[in-house]
Amino acid sequence: MKLLVVLAAFIALCAGTAIPLMPGDNSHYVEGESRYIWMPDGEGVPHLVDLREPVDEDFLRTRNGTNNHYWLYTRLNPTNPQRIVHGNVHTIWSSNYNASRPLKVIAHGWNNNLNSNINPLLRDAFLNVSDANVIVLDWYHLAGGFYTSAVRGIPSVGYSLGMFLVWLIDTAGGNWDTVHLVGHSLGAHVVGNAGRAAGGRAARVTGLDPAGPLWGGNSNALNANDGVYVECIHTDGGLLGIHDPIGNANFYPNGGRNPQPGCWISTCSHSRAYQLFASTVVNNHLNGQMCDNIDQVQHNQCSGRTFPMGNGVLPKSGSGLFRLTTTSSYPY
């Protein structure tokens, strides 16, 4: 009996407060219990995060949604962004923004910025298939701080993005039926809050492996009411991502958990969500098969109808749980 007690205490210590030594290895992590987890930056380099780090309230007062930067790309300026400043109409009129084009918005995650891998990958995918206005939200002022502080600041960042989009469309024109918001990790919760602030009018909201740590039961998390159609692609569920079906349609490539094909660490599986999505925008080739429940997802026992994962098609509608199998390299 004493041996069992000691063993239980050791397991609790490892799961709860022990510092993991192998960069990127989150095999120790127990959702809701572990204190530390490895998270990738914009280039995929893992950083150790303390989930009990006190929120820096002074930092939040100066690093919030008012610091958001909005960068516009179009086929006329596919690699040289034009900054649009909320409230400054001159920055719209002097840009290549065109109200007749669809509007795609990209939001990065923690410890990312304008130049992080996700942004050029999704930008180029969208412009490859559509003459669109692509706006990249850069919220690096807050995203570069402690993870716990970034989580607390998500509602402000998302609200400010939502109000920016309302102002942009009211001022320069546009159609909410052609607005597609896309966010990875913490960015998924950012676009959820943005969609909510805009009254749920965005035609599509896509969450790419929405961040999991500190988001279980969090009322500020992405949800199915944040847009007309809300979808999630889950690739690292239970670790860096939420595994629960929080959208209208929820896709679980290879079961939705780590390791994804070709990945050996959780940080790689987390990033796979936006890599898969970018490929579907260009190729529109990955289809999920409908499952009755999460248990079928986990055991690859789904036999329902098929439904396309991702892509950039508007409008898009549907609901349910969908599993699919991918390969380890592009186009997956």
Place of tokens 């987890």: 37
pLDDT tens for 221-236 read 999 999 999 999 999 9
Angle of helix 186-197 versus helix 147-172 axis, rounded to 10:
40
What single string gives the DSSP state of each residue in 28-82? T--TTT-SEEEEE-TTS-EEEEETTPPP-HHHHHHSSGGG-EEEEEETTEEEEEE
Provide the pLDDT for residue 260: 98
Please tell me which residue, 220 or 15, carries the higher pLDDT value. 220
Q: What is the pLDDT of residue 250?
A: 98
What superfamily in CATH does domain 53-324 come from?
Alpha/Beta hydrolase fold, catalytic domain (3.40.50.1820)
Give percent of the chain above pLDDT 70.
Answer: 95
Res. 1: pLDDT tops 60: no
Annotation says 189 is catalytic: no
Whether the per-residue pLDDT at 108 is higher than 90: the answer is yes
Say if CB 204 and CB 228 are below 8 A apart: yes
Q: Which residues of 245-269 are buried (b: 16+ CB within 10 A; e: fewer)?
A: bbbbbbbbbbbbbbbbeebebbbbb
pLDDT score, position 52: 98
- Confidence class for position 16, pLDDT limits 50, 70, 90: confident
Cα distance between residue 179 and residue 149, in whole Å: 29
- 170 flagged as catalytic: no
Distance CA 131, CA 228 (A): 22
- Cα distance between residue 238 and residue 241, in whole Å: 6
Provide CB contacts within 8 A for 10, sequence distance 6+.
none
Q: Which residue among the candidates 156, 160, 185, 269 is catalytic per the annotation?
A: 185
Res 106 pLDDT > 60: yes
CB 36 within 8 A of CB 111: no
Integer angstrom CA distances of residue 14 from 21, 30, 37, 51: 11, 9, 12, 15
pLDDT band for position 17 (cuts 50, 70, 90): confident
Catalytic residue among 141, 180, 234, 270: 270
Q: Indicate the domain borders of the chain.
A: 53-324
For 44-86, the pLDDT digits (tens) are 999 999 999 999 999 999 999 999 999 999 999 999 999 999 9
Burial of 156 (0-12, 13-18, 19+ CB in 10 A): buried
> Does the pLDDT at position 213 exceed 70?
yes
To 5 degrees, how large is the angle CA 125–CA 71–CA 43? Answer: 60
From 41, 138, 209, 226, active-site residue? 209
Of residues 8 and 15, more confidently modeled: 15
Residue 267 has pLDDT above 50, yes or no: yes
> How many angstroms separate the Cα of 293 from the Cα of each of 244, 250, 321?
11, 11, 7
| Token pair belonging to 83 | 């900054």
Catalytic-residue membership of 270: yes
pTM (two decimals): 0.94
Residue 2 has pLDDT above 70, yes or no: no
